[in-house]
Amino acid sequence: MSTGVPLLASRSRSEHVAQFGPLPDLSSPERRGRLIDEVERAGLRGRGGGWFPTHAKLRAVNESAASRRRLSRGRHPIAIANGMEGEPASSKDVALMAANPHLVLDGLSLAAQSVGASDARIAVHRGSAAEEVLTRALRERDDDPVPIALVLPPARYVASEESALAHWVGDGVATPVFPDRPFQKGVDGRPTLVQNVETLAHLALIGRNGGDWFRERGCTSAPGTTLVTVAGSVVRPSVVEVPVGTAVLDILDQAGGPTQPLLGYLTGGYGGAWVSAGQLDEATWDPESVRSAGGVIGASVLWALGEDTCPLVELDRVTSWMAGESAGQCGPCMFGLPSIAEDVHRLAAGAPGADVVPRLRQRLGLVAGRGGCKHPDGTARLVATALDAFSKEVLRHEQGSCSAPEHVGPRLPVPETRSLTADTARKDFR
């Protein structure tokens, strides 16, 4: 039996309730507490990239709200479903919302009630394919105990980082805020819960079926199923649902298998990590196993790179884009990422000069951990892991040649690259 994130055509609310049953009643504090206990028992970990335990976040928002009440500064918390899907290589969240909007909205409703929120938002970026289906679904839900509104922040990569999302909902500016985290001080200073839409769909099923049911699938450290975007040089690029802990090679098979011999994989998305082809042969798709193999499960992207594609040319395209997505608030991010992108570009173009790779490695060490959010860390890891996974290709490029000069394979999806200057950095975040 599937844990229930079926990728079918979108259903009406009555069809949805007929399939999944009604939502549990959370009208008393005891019932709300029990839901969080069930989420803990389920071992649900967030599917937005960090795989953080969901019950811990729910409790943190509750505790933050309680301490504010004690200080008589209490305003109710707010809950936000993160359906932004900022990772260009990921399509699982839009696929889920398009196919099953009410499951996500059920999860948001339960999560919002469990933290005592007075209102909730579901955020998808402007122009998202999920906008229409969510608009329709919300029209069928005027009885939700916590009112939910659809919001459309700008389609910038860091706009979907949780503090940026809270910033936009409160002040209309989608830049990350630090050092406070949203559970402490989010929208207008209120304790704010931000959960990925897939996490919420799982929570909706745990609310109905319980934590033990959820644990019937997946692995001990990360129970349940997960959606995976499988793309690149595979027969059927698709979103698949698998138990967490499924063998990576089985996941590839579900997408029809590779179309050609592979050089490696991008794991997790653009804030993730490259690994060379053999590295994932024994791995299973769970955070710990993928990490042991040198990758990152992150936003659950598995992108296969075929031999007909130069990894450094792809790295160049993605790194330039990531550099242009900085919010321009922190020096190491604003100035470091364009310098890194410049070095990667020289390397990809061939014959970069003997100093470029050592300088690049040094620059990577200077940005990681030094931003207000994890954007520079993700970009630095993307580049550092490519240098390791494709070290032979790096050597070839240093010597002025390339093993795939035609570069004919599938390209990683890269939206329009912005050139980052002090003047342009903060534009387009409203």
Ligand X SMILES: Cc1cc2nc3c(=O)[nH]c(=O)nc-3n(C[C@H](O)[C@H](O)[C@H](O)COP(=O)(O)O)c2cc1C
The stretch among 26-34, 103-111, 160-168, 344-352 that binds ligand X (CB under 6 A) is 160-168
Q: What is the three-class DSSP state of 196?
A: strand
Residue 48 near which of ligand X, ligand SF4, none (CB within 5-8 Å, type-dependent): ligand X
Q: Which does 199 bind (CB under 5 to 8 A by kind): ligand X, ligand SF4, none?
A: ligand X
- Closest residue to ligand SF4 using C-beta atoms: 371
Q: Which residues inside 71-90 make contact with ligand X, applying CB under 6 A?
A: 82, 84-87
Q: How far is the CB of 52 from ligand X (least distance, A)?
A: 5
Residues 6+ apart with CB under 8 A from 43: 53, 211, 214, 215, 220, 221, 222, 223, 224
Burial class (CB in 10 A: 0-12, 13-18, 19+), 229: buried
CA dist 76 to 191, 248, 370, Å? 8, 43, 33
* Contacts (CB under 6 A) with ligand X, residues 4-43: none
- Cα–Cα distance between 32 and 38 in angstroms, integer? 10
Q: The tokens of 257 are what? A: 């298998």
Q: Does 352 bind ligand X (CB under 6 A)?
A: no
Q: Where are the beta strands (DSSP E) in 110-158?
A: 119-123, 148-151
Q: Which of the choices ligand SF4, ligand X, none does residue 128 contact, using the CB cut-off of 5 to 8 A by kind?
A: none
**Number of residues this chain uses to bind ligand X (CB under 6 A):** 24
- Choose the one of ligand X, ligand SF4, none that binds residue 333, judging by a C-beta under 5 to 8 angstroms depending on kind: ligand SF4
Min dist CB 84 to ligand X, Å, is: 4
Measured CA to CA in angstroms, residue 102 lies from 21, 147, 166, 266, 283 at distances of 12, 14, 23, 31, 34
Among ligand X, ligand SF4, none, what binds residue 371 when CB lies within 5 to 8 Å by partner kind?
Answer: ligand SF4
Is 50 or 237 the residue whose CB approaches ligand X more closely?
50
Residues 6+ apart with CB under 8 A from 6: 99, 100, 241
Select the binding partner of residue 276 from ligand SF4, ligand X, none (C-beta < 5 to 8 A, by kind): none
Residue (of 347, 300, 301) closest to 320 by Cα position:
347
| Rounded least distance, CB 379 to ligand SF4, Å | 9
Determine, following the binding rule CB under 6 A, whether residue 229 of this chain makes contact with ligand X. no
> What's the distance, Cα to Cα, between the start and end of the chain in Å?
43
Contact call for residue 379 and ligand X (CB under 6 A): no
Among 21, 52, 235, 415, binds ligand X (CB under 6 A): 52
- Return the residue of 6, 33, 50, 294 that touches ligand X, per CB under 6 A: 50
Closest CB to ligand SF4 among residues 268, 328: 328
Strand, helix or coil at 282? coil
Smallest gap from Cβ 194 to ligand X, in A, equals 5
CA distance 314 to 276: 14
Residue 138 binding: pick among ligand X, ligand SF4, none (C-beta 5-8 Å cut-off by kind) = none
Sheet holding 301-306, edge to edge: 238-243, 225-232, 301-306, 262-267, 273-276
Instruction: Please answer whether residues 75 and 116 qualify as being in contact, where contact means their C-beta atoms are separated by less than 8 angstroms.
Output: no
Q: Tell me which residues touch ligand X (CB under 6 A).
A: 46-50, 52, 57, 82, 84-87, 157-158, 160-162, 194-196, 199, 373-375
